[in-house]
Amino acid sequence: MRGYLPPVEVRVPATLGEALTLLAAEPGLWTPLAGGTDLMVVFNAGHLKATRFLDLSRLTELRGIAEDNNLLSFGSLSTYTDLRECRAVHQHFPNLVKSAQVTGALAIQNRGTLGGNIANASPAADTPPSLLAYGAELELVSVLGSRRVAYASFHQGYKQMDLAPDELVAKVLVPKPTGRGFHYFRKVGTRQAQAISKVCLAAYARLEKGCVAELRIGLGSVAPAPVRARAVEQLLLGQPLASLPIEAARLALGSDISPIDDIRATAHYRSVVTGNLLAQMLRELTQA
Ligand SMILES: Cc1cc2nc3c(=O)[nH]c(=O)nc-3n(C[C@H](O)[C@H](O)[C@H](O)COP(=O)(O)OP(=O)(O)OC[C@H]3O[C@@H](n4cnc5c(N)ncnc54)[C@H](O)[C@@H]3O)c2cc1C
């Protein structure tokens, strides 16, 4: 903890328009502040260069979870508690509920936001694997208007995102799965709770006539950013559930991930455990 904190300036816009105008006038100068659960840790440690913060908390435009026939739209200020308490999220996106349940403890779940988890761009964040598995899109806004990007292409490297300095993440749009679905989520950390992921795997499959008709696998903590296991998905697509090539899938995983050694785990541990989670997921899928 640092003993001296520099003076900071915090603006608290009342509308989204006001916030975007400020970002456009001085791009890169203002750091969006949502729940502050990532920012304040870095700030207190003295590693955060930013001293000007744009507090998003009053922007009602970024709140709420809305449902229509085809999708759920999460305001970027949706908290983990919002996700855990929403009936429609339980019904359509059980992996997202599980991600929220294993993020921090209740205080973090009450304050931390989905938008913050995404824009903090940690490879170890817990909602991204589920968002990848469900084929989420992001709505980004600036004074120029809004644009949609596939979440799978949003992270472009370690802490690099398809997000301009004058843009905010406004919404996370997740299409409702149709047909017979299979959902899997597992996070491996040092403890069951209050631990950052060593490995995290989320998967969604649509099953049709005893085969894998659609499959997306999202992975955390095994690459510079959250990633899809595209080689594995490709291998398994169309395969009969009764004879999924589990060992071949484990081998294919090697080209999807690039784990590193860090304070939480070794690259070797991450490779082996990711393969184990994949095999566990596929064994469950065989029984689905
Ligand atoms: C004790 C503790 C335990 C934790 N455990 C976990 C865990 O288990 N799993 C996990 O994934 N995370 C964990 N976290 C990290 C953190 O709580 C989450 O990443 C949280 O979702 C961050 O959201 P926030 O609203 O607090 O973000 P903030 O700290 O406010 O912001 C994070 C980053 O996102 C940017 N940002 C925020 N909102 C927007 C927006 N709408 N548009 C553009 N940029 C934006 C900010 O500028 C900043 O760079 C933990 C943190 C703590 C302190």
Ligand 1 binding pocket (C-beta < 6 A) is 31-39, 41, 56, 76, 103-104, 108, 112-113, 115-117, 119-120, 125-126, 168-169, 196
The stretches in the chain having pLDDT less than 70 are 1-3
**CA 119 / ligand 1 centre spacing (Å):** 8
Longest CA–CA span in the chain (Å) reads 64
Q: What is the pLDDT of residue 224?
A: 96
Predicted confidence (pLDDT) per residue in 171-200, tens digit: 999 999 999 999 999 999 988 778 899 999
DSSP code string of 168-193: EEEEEEEEPP-SEEEEEEEEE-SSSS
Q: What is the pLDDT of residue 3?
A: 63
Instruction: Provide the 8-state DSSP code for 141.
Output: E
CA dihedral 73, 76, 79, 83 (to 10 degrees): 20
**CA 41 / ligand 1 centre spacing (Å):** 10
Q: How far apart are CA 179 and CA 32, in angstroms?
A: 39
- The closest residue, in CA terms, to atom 23 on ligand 1 is 116
Supply φ then ψ for residue 181, to 5 degrees: -115, 160
**Cβ neighbours, 10 Å, residue 243:** 8
Handedness of CA 90, 91, 96, 99 (dihedral sign): positive
Q: What is the pLDDT of residue 1?
A: 54
Reported in sequence order, the residue ranges of the chain that DSSP labels E, i.e. its strands, are 9-11, 31-33, 52-55, 65-67, 71-75, 137-142, 145-150, 155-157, 160-161, 168-175, 180-188, 199-208, 211-220, 227-228
Instruction: Provide the 8-state DSSP code for 113.
Output: B
Q: What is the pLDDT of residue 8?
A: 92
Q: Is the pTM of this model over 0.95?
A: yes
Q: How far apart are CA 202 and CA 184, in angstroms?
A: 5
Which helix (H) or strand (E) segment is 268 a member of?
helix 267-286
Q: What is the pLDDT of residue 192?
A: 76
Residue 200 and residue 126 in contact, taking contact as beta carbons nearer than 8 Å:
yes
**Cβ neighbours, 10 Å, residue 238:** 11
Specify whether the backbone of 199 is left (phi greater than 0), alpha (psi in -120 to 50) or beta: beta
